[in-house]
């Protein structure tokens, strides 16, 4: 027994030692200050890196989050050339992956500075992942598609159970009737004799019609079914989620916004400065397609790109335009709001910092664009309830709109006079819709 207790004691010491190292490791990783790291990141890293996507260098969010060795990351950021010269396997893999382009050496950054930068990258990437997941979860909750499948199947289950209960009760009632007739000495008509008797179908229907429980159950089920169908129909009136019209020119967003990673606002340039995102003119298309007239690997010119040339009156052989042959492209609008609903793209994109995918879905994966969100009042309200506004950092920091709101609130606290003009009451868009 003593040997067993000694072994257990040694084992417990080992476990405590490992746990202590683990706690130290986690605490060491959590020492960075994300707030200080943000300033350092913007001052030193934004020229070549983005957190969510590749710029000159790789996207840092997934890269830094996947790498758990903070000491190695610190060495890489401070002096990556020394790691490459020492033939470090990780350093060589990154160096070769990005065509042997050397990264700037940041010898002036201390270990604490690098730790703060790493903490900021991980914190911001985590927030971006949560934000990207929220619209999907919120969109599912606010899909406005009427009763869910669970509710429908639940109603069907209730109907089946109720039907079974009625059958059981009928059997119980029949059994009680037989016992009652037997106790009074009255003749009992067996089921076999009833089956031998000629079948009168109308009599059966009349018998069922006299069953008040069954009639009530049928009326109740019919009312529930008709009410559910009416509710779903009215709920989805003028909701065009999933609408995907055929366009006059096939434009693959998954190629341009996905594979080519062209920014949405390169084409839809009005999104950050006006109410409408705007449809790009064909001249924007010609910035690339004046020299690109076919898909990769194809020996023949694309018929879809030729449609652009035809609409502009452009001859790719002579590279000249004929304005007499030009004609507008009849694009089919996909996202339509009621006339009484006002939506301003710039307020959401520029002021709010909302990404296009929040409303339009994963547009970079769509071969043909469709209406991703229901665009109902409930859906908009739920988004406004979920979206937090942080006045101290991010896209809202230094924003004239929010700065003005803070200034107005400060004036109210001081008891000063606040007019409608202070709240934007004399802006053109307030009256001239």
Condensed to tens digits (0 to 9), the pLDDT of residues 399-419 reads 677 778 888 888 889 988 888
Q: How far is 364 from 65, CA to CA, in rounded Å?
A: 24
| Nearest residue to 244 (alpha-carbon basis) of 366, 352, 345, 334 | 334
Q: How far is 125 from 51, CA to CA, in rounded Å?
A: 7
Q: How far is 270 from 73, CA to CA, in rounded Å?
A: 40
Q: What angle do CA 371, 376, 381 make, to 5 degrees?
A: 125
pLDDT by 10s per residue, the chain, length 433: 444 444 434 444 444 444 454 444 444 444 578 888 887 887 778 767 888 877 667 788 887 787 778 888 888 888 877 777 788 888 777 777 765 566 777 777 788 888 888 888 888 888 888 877 665 555 444 444 455 567 777 778 888 888 788 778 878 888 888 888 778 777 766 555 555 555 566 777 777 788 888 888 889 888 988 998 898 888 888 888 899 999 999 999 999 999 999 999 999 999 988 999 999 999 999 999 988 988 877 888 899 999 999 999 999 989 999 999 999 999 999 998 888 888 999 988 887 888 899 999 999 999 999 999 999 888 888 888 888 776 665 455 666 777 788 888 888 899 888 888 887 777 776 676 5
- Would you tell me how many other CB atoms lie within 10 Å of the CB of residue 243? 15
Residues ≥6 apart with Cβ < 8 Å to 316 = 293, 301, 309
Question: What sign does the CA torsion over 25, 27, 33, 38 have?
Answer: positive
In order of 169, 396, 399, the CA distances from 406 in angstroms are 69, 12, 11
Q: Return the exposure string of 209-229: e unless at least 16 CB atoms fall within 10 Å of the residue's CB, then b.
A: eeeeeeeebeeeeeeeeeeee
| Nearest residue to 105 (alpha-carbon basis) of 85, 84, 76 | 76
Q: How far is 317 from 294, CA to CA, in rounded Å?
A: 14
Q: Are strands 314-315 and 320-321 parallel, antiparallel or unpaired?
A: antiparallel
Any bridge partners for residue 308, and if so which?
A: none
* Cβ contact 333:344 at 8 Å: no
Any bridge partners for residue 320, and if so which?
A: 315
Q: Return the exposure string of 16-41: e unless at least 16 CB atoms fall within 10 Å of the residue's CB, then b.
A: eeeeeeeeeeeeeeeebbbebbbebb
Token pair recorded at residue 285: 């298309």
* Cβ contact 425:419 at 8 Å: yes
| Nearest residue to 29 (alpha-carbon basis) of 76, 78, 67, 62 | 67
Condensed to tens digits (0 to 9), the pLDDT of residues 20-73 reads 544 444 444 445 788 888 878 877 787 678 888 776 677 888 877 877 788 888
* Cβ contact 282:308 at 8 Å: yes
Q: For helices 70-85 and 111-141, what crossing angle results, to 10°?
A: 120
Local structure of residue 368 (DSSP, 8 states): S
């Amino acid at each position: 027994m003593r040997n067993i207790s000694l072994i257990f004691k040694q084992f417990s010491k080992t476990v405590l030692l490992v746990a202590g190292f683990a706690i130290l490791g986690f605490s060491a990783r959590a020492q960075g200050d994300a707030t200080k790291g943000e300033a350092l990141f913007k001052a030193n890293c934004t020229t070549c890196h983005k957190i969510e996507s590749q710029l000159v260098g790789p996207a840092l969010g997934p890269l830094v989050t996947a790498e758990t060795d903070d000491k190695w990351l610190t060495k890489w950021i401070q002096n990556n050339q020394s790691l490459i010269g020492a033939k470090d396997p990780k350093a060589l893999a990154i160096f070769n992956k990005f065509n042997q382009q050397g990264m700037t050496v940041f010898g002036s950054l201390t270990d604490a500075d690098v730790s703060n930068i790493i903490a900021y990258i991980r914190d911001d990437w985590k927030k971006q992942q949560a934000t990207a997941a929220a619209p999907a979860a919120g969109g599912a909750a606010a899909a406005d598609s009427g009763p869910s499948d669970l509710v429908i199947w639940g109603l069907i289950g209730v109907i089946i159970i109720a039907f079974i209960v009625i059958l059981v009760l009928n059997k119980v009632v029949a059994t009680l009737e037989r016992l009652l007739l037997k106790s009074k000495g009255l003749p009992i008509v067996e089921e076999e004799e009833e089956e031998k008797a000629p079948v009168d179908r109308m009599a059966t229907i009349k018998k069922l019609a006299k069953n008040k429980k069954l009639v009530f159950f049928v009326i109740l089920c019919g009312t529930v079914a008709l009410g559910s169908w009416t509710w779903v129909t009215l709920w989805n009136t003028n909701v065009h989620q999933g609408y995907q019209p055929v366009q006059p020119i096939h434009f693959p967003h998954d190629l341009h916004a996905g594979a080519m990673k062209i920014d949405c606002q390169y084409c839809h340039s009005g999104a950050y400065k006006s109410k409408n995102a705007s449809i790009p003119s064909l001249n924007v298309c010609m910035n690339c397609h004046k020299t690109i007239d076919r898909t990769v690997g194809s020996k023949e010119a694309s018929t879809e790109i030729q449609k652009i040339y035809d609409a502009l009156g452009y001859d790719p052989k002579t590279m000249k335009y004929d304005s007499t042959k030009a004609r507008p492209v009849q694009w089919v609008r996909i996202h339509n709001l009621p006339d009484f609903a006002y939506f301003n793209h710039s307020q959401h994109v520029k002021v709010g910092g909302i990404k296009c995918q929040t409303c339009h879905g994963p547009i970079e994966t769509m071969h043909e664009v469709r209406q991703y969100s229901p665009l109902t009042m409930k859906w908009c309200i739920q988004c406004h309830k979920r979206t937090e506004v942080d006045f101290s950092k991010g896209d809202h920091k230094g924003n004239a709109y929010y700065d003005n709101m803070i200034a107005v609130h400060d004036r109210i606290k001081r008891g000063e006079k606040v007019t409608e003009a202070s709240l934007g009451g004399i802006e053109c868009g307030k009256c001239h819709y």
